[in-house]
Structure 1
């Protein structure tokens, strides 16, 4: 299915071939003519890719042709990126090398003549492969469709919580569940009520409607919501329940043992009439459920547990004697059609298109009464009034497939097919994330940026703005659930069936390795290792672009092998790793855009060779609590846009950081030895500044960062906001200011007055706040 991501990739690659840096590099290397020929051949192939993607399910030969194209295009992208690396290397040497021989030696390249011959040879090889593939395009009867006409019409955002007026056909179900929860439990003090139904029926939405009902608020003083999913390990479920309950002491339960957790939870529940929602339960082992139930049964009359699950056997196992499972039915035809109209049209616009409404009724019947299918497919047709497009959806052959043939809903697959090509690789990347997890827009955008999925921003835009717009478009198509826009960022979840769809469309290009699946295709480009001991056994494709070790790793031999074999890596995420240092060879990954080392609590040092990575856009050192200092030469990371730091270093290397002119976001987290910031530093493009739990930070010279739009200061107990500047900052662009748990905050600083015309949000929490200036 990864072949369906090809058009967007081809479009991006051809744009790179026309860039100034690549043009100059090709002229300098004497391969400009070959480059132009390669670009022309790629354009011929790109012209038929959209038609090929639509027809590839009909022909295995066509699918293989597309796979070969993807392979040669990837090799071509590596050459293009190599040109850009060379241009960046020369930029650093020309800027800093004139005054330092060490810089020239540090960035020394291979013999220029050898490099030129090698690149010319590689380009000739790619040209020959492209010519053969281009010649074969006529064998498949493909039409030229050189423009993607699937345009997203973005509707206005709504709030993230369930709005009953946006839910159709579930009023009766809501009242039935509420009655079950409010009725006496007879002889049982703890009652369990399961809601059962297939995926996409709206079980979670129904549970939310009930959870937020005022009568439930009045009856249950304590309410807790836990998304269980596939993880029913007792300790993990206890942590989730505690995290959803009030926590006045702000304890971090993540490092507690099971005995401590059960003790804390029973103390929290004791004497409280509670409602606990266990959403999306998959566990079929009665012993695990019995262990949990024994802990949360604190002998209080009227406590209830509401469970959502797809499995009748799980419901029968969990329900108590006095309760029955609630079987959630499909929506009626009338309710399904009402939901479809609400998703596909602006209010009232449907009356202008009676023909589309008739076609819509036929489409709705094929969705089988599943709200997720109806809403997603309706959203994909939003503001599209071409009758042929609606007929294409109605008459598509995918409806002849049963859902269980591929494990996906035909309606969701059709909605994916209707996405603009530039959103398809973004959607496929969701397959790398854990199921049922909260996904933050900030992290997703950094990934898309590193992989080249985002186009260059327009004037006055940042890459974060572009990424957020893409997420907004996916939300408008109903692919994202529980979407919350907090201004500075957003977060969301994926419905199980949407997550399954992302895995399906990404297969072959995005893969996961876990104990049950240790095989990976040689053409895989984006890989997630689920367990930290998988690294030594994993087969690493040479063309790998992304490696994410989800639960850390400590295998040094694996890391050295990775660097030697996967030299075109763009994203390397080693969060929660147990390394004390990284090998010097890490500096050879010259294509690397993203290096994540967050929560690597044993990491003490980074090799200076990291500073050879001129393509690096994101460096995340959050939670590296033993890191002694930043690597020497960090100012050479001239492409860096996002830097998150945790270090014991007392003095911030401002002279070096001043060279990072593209820096957009800078986060200091638990930098306890830093006392002063920005005394002699100007960062003109800095948009986001976070100061989190820097215990000894006393002063920040905010005039040095006057273009910052988002400022968050949390638990910096010694920071005096007025120090360093007594008057307002002229021409301030500050939009979001969050002040949290600041003991020294008595009055708002005077410099904030300069933001009166730009400030959107001012949030002050848990501060000893006495008045405003």
Structure 2
């Protein structure tokens, strides 16, 4: 499927070669003429690639031809990147090098003359290979289509939390489940120990989770069950992790006295955790949703069942799963609720809602008739219906609808009950650049919550984000791509925070991402026998894998990830794998256990991203890391034993994002100030740090986070030194209002988003941003009891998010003064939920005028 990316790769290569900056760079390096010849060969092949992509499904020989081209393009990308690396290296030597550096490099094996000679040979080889495959172009009868005319039809941003009136065709299912839950006892199994388990079964995308949400939020259920808990299980039925999730879900409703102080639950043993869980549930009549269960091991289920069996008589559990055998194993009722497909009428209603603006469908009776035929192919699966409807939004030409209806992709062989053809059809309608970005989301496990900063780093390191203007940043482009994916319903549970996004993707959409990326991306687990040849991106989703038994060809690998918490790389992994990947661009070593990085890390000159987040063993970094002039992201947060930052960090001239935890009492601010591309800076848990940015100017910084710096006395921020700063995150600063308040109104920052974590009170100085602040997030402020009066003066506030503030009891009657407020989200705040619950809470009328409200008692 990776052959669908080829046109985009060709386009980016040609665009780069044609740019004035690159022409100048290639002249300096001495390979200008060679690259211009290669550009001509690229253009000749590119002209027929769009037609070839569309015809490859039915032509094996054509697919093989495209694979050959793809490999040549990968080599071409690596060659062009070497020119960039050399240009940046020359810039660093010019700005920071000593005479000794310059003379030594001239006589070394990496001298300009040797580099030019080797690069010219590589370019010649690529051009000759391109010319050979181009000679076969005509035998396939391909048409010249030089412009990708697929466009993204955008629509207004929406929020994905369930509103009952927006759900079509599930009222009967909901009533049936609610009726079962309201019955005193449902036990069909004497061993159930008071806990009745009702499974909801159906294929992916059918709406099992949506139905469970409708039931979970029904007022009759809320009245009947003092304790409600929502837990997303997914593929990992790890007992310890499940206990932690249930404790976290329950802690919003019951006293946390059972918990050992503020100790991190992950640090406790299973014995301690099960004691806490049983104490919290004992005698409580609870309702628990276990969403998306894949576990077929009955022993694991019985172990969990025994722990929660201390609940009061009448406690109920809903399990959603794709597997009838799992439902049979877990259920205690006489039957499972098998969720059926939507009726043709309900499917069409859902399709119309997504394909047309409200009320305009009456203008297009011919399109509605074609729409019926399209909906028939979706087999009543809501996700497929919604996705295809979104792909036709604002398209009113009959031929566009007929083309979608008549696509041969529907006839592709699929597993039983699989709807990948329906989803893939919308994927095929995406522009090539968007398809590449979507495919990389497959590198993360299901139910992963994506943050747009991280997604932007991954896409940027892969070279998928092209800047169209000097004022644009990689994050800006990534956000536009995310909005494009939202418009096609490929993102789920989207949470916009003012200057960034948090989201996940539906299981079925994740399956699609894995499917389309299978030749480019690979998830490695204990079942992996080998690594696909020519794979570019590797994601290791299990710990302790037998790396030595897998013998991949690593030369072309560009990304290595460890995306699962507490599962990181060892030093043996670094030695066996990483150092052989000479074209590596993205290296995520989060939660790794290595005590040091090898000095040879400095040879991976193509690297854009390195993360050592959460490594509690590493003490120092090799100074050679500062040879990575391409590096855009360096994440060292939660490296609690890191004694010092590497010397000469100023040489990282491309660095855009830097996150730090260090034992230093003074940061190398003069070096940091020379990072002229720095946009995002995080200083976290630097306990020895007493001052920050006293005389430092960071003109490009847009996001600043300062968290858990217990001895920090002040944080002077003004527009003179931070003219671009728009997002500020602070946490764990006690009662001290150390955020500097400027007396000069002209010097006040123009902040758009503020994120507050673990605060006892909110700093008074925040009110100085009242005229510009658009987003405010308040999370995990466990002792916060009241919101300050000045908060209601934030005249520009559009988005207010409050999470996990159990003692917060009221929003104040002055909330109506927030005249710009469009979105209010209250998550896991028990007292606020009770008062402001939609439709029924005593204070609901005070907020009912707000356009978007999302008030819930558990993460979903």
Identify whether the pair has TM-score above 0.5, normalized to the shorter chain.
yes
Give SS of 2:349's match.
helix
Of the three residues 513, 521, 527, the one matched with 2:524 is 513
Q: Which residue of 2 aligns with 1:125?
A: 125
Give SS of 2:149's match.
coil
Q: Which residue of 2 aligns with 1:612?
A: 627
Q: Which residue of 1 aligns with 2:425?
A: 414
Q: Which residue of 2 aligns with 1:230?
A: 235
Counterpart check, 1:180 vs 2:180? yes
Q: Which residue of 2 aligns with 1:138?
A: 138
1:38–1:500 CA distance, 2 compared to 1 (3 A): same
Q: Which residue of 2 aligns with 1:258?
A: 270
Residue 741 (structure 1) shift:
3.5
Residue 356 (structure 1) shift:
1.3
- Paired with 1:237 and 1:722, the residues of 2 have a C-alpha distance of 39
Residue 26 (structure 1) shift:
2.2
Residue 739 (structure 1) shift:
3.2
Residue 623 (structure 1) shift:
1.2
Of the three residues 270, 278, 301, the one matched with 2:290 is 278
Residue 258 (structure 1) shift:
1.3
Of the three residues 545, 548, 561, the one matched with 1:536 is 548
- Paired with 1:647 and 1:194, the residues of 2 have a C-alpha distance of 49
Of the three residues 667, 672, 683, the one matched with 1:668 is 683
Residue 291 (structure 1) shift:
1.0
1:101–1:398 CA distance, 2 compared to 1 (3 A): same
- Paired with 1:481 and 1:675, the residues of 2 have a C-alpha distance of 42
Q: Which residue of 1 aligns with 2:773?
A: 759
Residue 557 (structure 1) shift:
4.5
Residue 653 (structure 1) shift:
0.5
- Paired with 1:365 and 1:223, the residues of 2 have a C-alpha distance of 38
1:204–1:492 CA distance, 2 compared to 1 (3 A): same
Q: Which residue of 2 aligns with 1:545?
A: 558
Residue 437 (structure 1) shift:
2.1
Residue 64 (structure 1) shift:
1.0
Give the gaps of 5 or more residues in structure 1.
none
Residue 404 (structure 1) shift:
0.7
Of the three residues 464, 478, 500, the one matched with 2:475 is 464
Q: Which residue of 1 aligns with 2:324?
A: 312
Q: Is the 8 A contact 1:547 1:571 kept in 2?
A: yes
1:20–1:87 CA distance, 2 compared to 1 (3 A): farther
Q: Which residue of 1 aligns with 2:244?
A: 239
- Paired with 1:563 and 1:232, the residues of 2 have a C-alpha distance of 31
Give SS of 2:136's match.
helix
1:743–1:413 CA distance, 2 compared to 1 (3 A): closer
Q: What do residues 700-723 of structure 1 show as CA deviations (whole Å, max 9, x unaligned)?
A: 120232421000111023753354
Give SS of 1:138's match.
helix
1:25–1:289 CA distance, 2 compared to 1 (3 A): same
- Paired with 1:365 and 1:196, the residues of 2 have a C-alpha distance of 22
Of the three residues 463, 468, 485, the one matched with 2:496 is 485
Residue 345 (structure 1) shift:
0.9
Q: Which residue of 1 aligns with 2:847?
A: none
Q: Is the 8 A contact 2:497 2:777 kept in 1?
A: no
- Paired with 1:21 and 1:562, the residues of 2 have a C-alpha distance of 34
Residue 682 (structure 1) shift:
0.6
Give SS of 1:644's match.
strand
Q: What do residues 189-239 of structure 1 show as CA deviations (whole Å, max 9, x unaligned)?
A: 321111111222110111111112222222222211111122112222112
Counterpart check, 1:641 vs 2:653? no
Q: Which residue of 2 aligns with 1:696?
A: 711
1:34–1:513 CA distance, 2 compared to 1 (3 A): same
Give SS of 2:682's match.
strand
- Paired with 2:478 and 2:754, the residues of 1 have a C-alpha distance of 22
Give the gaps of 5 or more residues in structure 2.
188-192, 792-860
How many residue pairs get aligned? The number is: 768
Counterpart check, 1:190 vs 2:195? yes
- Paired with 2:288 and 2:497, the residues of 1 have a C-alpha distance of 26
User: Which piece of structure 1 moves more, 365-374 or 761-770?
Assistant: 761-770
1:618–1:722 CA distance, 2 compared to 1 (3 A): closer
1:324–1:591 CA distance, 2 compared to 1 (3 A): same
Q: Is the 8 A contact 2:737 2:763 kept in 1?
A: no
Q: Which residue of 1 aligns with 2:841?
A: none
Alignment of 1:311-710 (within 5 A): 311-321=323-333, 323-404=334-415, 408-456=419-467, 458=469, 460-534=471-545, 535-538=547-550, 539-550=552-563, 552-703=567-718, 704-710=721-727
Q: Which residue of 1 aligns with 2:307?
A: 295
Q: Which residue of 1 aligns with 2:800?
A: none
Residue 294 (structure 1) shift:
0.8
Q: Is the 8 A contact 1:178 1:216 kept in 2?
A: yes
1:616–1:401 CA distance, 2 compared to 1 (3 A): same
Residue 95 (structure 1) shift:
1.3
- Paired with 2:131 and 2:280, the residues of 1 have a C-alpha distance of 69
1:119–1:200 CA distance, 2 compared to 1 (3 A): same
- Paired with 2:454 and 2:536, the residues of 1 have a C-alpha distance of 19
Q: Is the 8 A contact 2:29 2:87 kept in 1?
A: no
- Paired with 1:207 and 1:649, the residues of 2 have a C-alpha distance of 50
Residue 41 (structure 1) shift:
1.6
Q: What do residues 15-59 of structure 1 show as CA deviations (whole Å, max 9, x unaligned)?
A: 221233431232234332221121122122112111111111111
CA RMSD of aligned residues (A): 2.3
Give SS of 1:158's match.
coil
Residue 556 (structure 1) shift:
2.9
User: Which piece of structure 1 moves more, 702-711 or 393-402?
Assistant: 393-402
- Paired with 1:514 and 1:746, the residues of 2 have a C-alpha distance of 46
Q: Is the 8 A contact 2:700 2:723 kept in 1?
A: no
Residue 331 (structure 1) shift:
0.5
1:455–1:731 CA distance, 2 compared to 1 (3 A): farther
Q: Is the 8 A contact 2:29 2:83 kept in 1?
A: no
- Paired with 1:615 and 1:770, the residues of 2 have a C-alpha distance of 45
Q: What do residues 128-157 of structure 1 show as CA deviations (whole Å, max 9, x unaligned)?
A: 011112221111111112222221112112
- Paired with 1:135 and 1:624, the residues of 2 have a C-alpha distance of 54
Q: Is the 8 A contact 1:485 1:491 kept in 2?
A: yes
User: Which piece of structure 1 moves more, 214-223 or 260-269?
Assistant: 214-223
Q: What do residues 722-745 of structure 1 show as CA deviations (whole Å, max 9, x unaligned)?
A: 548444453632111233334575
- Paired with 1:413 and 1:763, the residues of 2 have a C-alpha distance of 36
Give SS of 1:403's match.
coil
- Paired with 2:758 and 2:295, the residues of 1 have a C-alpha distance of 40
Q: Is the 8 A contact 1:170 1:206 kept in 2?
A: yes
Q: Is the 8 A contact 1:448 1:467 kept in 2?
A: yes
Q: What do residues 534-559 of structure 1 show as CA deviations (whole Å, max 9, x unaligned)?
A: 33334242111111134545543442
Give SS of 2:494's match.
strand
1:662–1:133 CA distance, 2 compared to 1 (3 A): same
Q: Which residue of 1 aligns with 2:63?
A: 63
1:103–1:758 CA distance, 2 compared to 1 (3 A): farther
User: Which piece of structure 1 moves more, 634-643 or 130-139?
Assistant: 130-139
- Paired with 1:367 and 1:481, the residues of 2 have a C-alpha distance of 19
1:675–1:537 CA distance, 2 compared to 1 (3 A): farther
User: Which piece of structure 1 moves more, 712-721 or 554-563?
Assistant: 554-563
User: Which piece of structure 1 moves more, 492-501 or 682-691?
Assistant: 492-501
Q: Is the 8 A contact 1:97 1:104 kept in 2?
A: no
- Paired with 2:498 and 2:790, the residues of 1 have a C-alpha distance of 24
Of the three residues 706, 709, 716, the one matched with 2:733 is 716
